[in-house]
A and B are shown apart, each in its own frame.
Chain A
Amino acid sequence: MSQFPLQVKSTIDFIASGLANAHGYEYFDLDSSAWETSLVQSQQPAMAWAFSNMAEHPRDPLWLVGFDIGAKVSEDPAQYTSLEITSVILSQFATGQTVPIMDYSGATPPTTPIGTLIITSAHAIPAQFDRTSGLRLVRVEAKAIRFS
């Protein structure tokens, strides 16, 4: 159980980075934005996410998981680019969608699922603005079941 939060986070990273690559977007972890200065300052749209919370519910192997994932955009007067990215995210993390949890934190791709993530809700939250950039996030809530 001790590495389960790491494994869930790595699964979210895997899904989100694959989504960004499939649509040609840059991407970065919002909690590591200090190490991605050029991406944060860039005018190019990017996908960004932050792992928010994870708690046993009521206890392991059943968990509640929450994370925010969305679009960082500049020069987007009607927010169309922002909503384009948001739409891609909402279709990927639709309510009821299940995602196999695997440990993607190492260099070698995993082959064996160690749990399942079940999306229970996903909704876009109001946009935030900082000087030349806007950030529109989707708040995703899920339940996770650990197999091993």
Chain B
Amino acid sequence: MHLRGAANYFSITQPDGWVSSTNTWVSKAFPCTLLPMDRFVSEREFGLKRRYMLVHPDYTPPYSAIRFGDNGPVYLVGWCTIDYQVSSYSKVILLHEANLLAQLITRTVTATSSGMGRASTETVLGTYPFSIERVTAASFREFQGAQLTDFFGMLPRDCPVSVDNEIHVGTIEYQIQEVFASSGFTGVRVLSKKP
């Protein structure tokens, strides 16, 4: 039995591929099978945001995000694993839904003659698909009674984010506390600065 042929027979779905360097979409970039395995019921969002995509075992999508249709859902492209039976017959890719658009911000500080920075200006480094989920409320250390909200976010794996950046989603600003690799995505822990 030729498992490759059988496994890829239904790869007729063609998502658009996101080019991070230009923030543009390549229409119908490659064939795949999108598995309907996102029916995990939980108070947490991961069960509804993650699903699998199957592609040909010799193909690795060069895109860190894909979407299904011009106005369809956007997914971050994560870990790839190979399915084997004597030889490889399919590649399983983890997807994470990310329907927000985040601006990655760096602050350029105006230098003073003291050697320290003073007023800062915001520079947009790029726009990236973004997913966010609330974790908990974090207390303000300096002002008792005031709290910020702690969020867990996901960005494309090739997003050049660091703890010195900020993320802006519309008018909401998030300060980045931590950056880490997670399941082939770039994970961030952020605090909301202001609504």
Contacts of B177 in A (CB 8 A): 37
Tell me if A74 counts as interface (CB < 8 A to partner B). Answer: no
Residues of chain B from 106 to 150 with CB closer than 8 A to chain A in the complex: 107, 110-116, 118
Q: Are the C-beta atoms of A41 and B113 separated by less than 8 Å?
A: no
Tell which of B113, B163, B164, B175 touches A107, judged by Cβ atoms closer than 8 Å: B113
Interface residues on chain B, number (Cβ under 8 Å): 15
Known pairs A37-B164, A38-B163; A29 contacts B116 (CB<8 A):
yes
Q: How many A-B residue pairs have CB under 8 A?
A: 48
Q: Are the C-beta atoms of B113 and A17 separated by less than 8 Å?
A: no
Q: Are the C-beta atoms of A107 and B115 separated by less than 8 Å?
A: no
**Taking the nearest CB of chain A, how far is it from the CB of B187, in angstroms?**
16
Contacts of B163 in A (CB 8 A): 37-38, 41
A19 to B138, alpha carbons, bound, how many Å? 37
Tell me if A21 counts as interface (CB < 8 A to partner B). Answer: yes
Interface residues of chain B, those whose CB is within 8 Å of chain A, are 107, 110-116, 118, 162-164, 175-177
Interface residues of chain A, those whose CB is within 8 Å of chain B, are 10-11, 13-14, 16-18, 21, 27, 29, 34-38, 41, 104-110
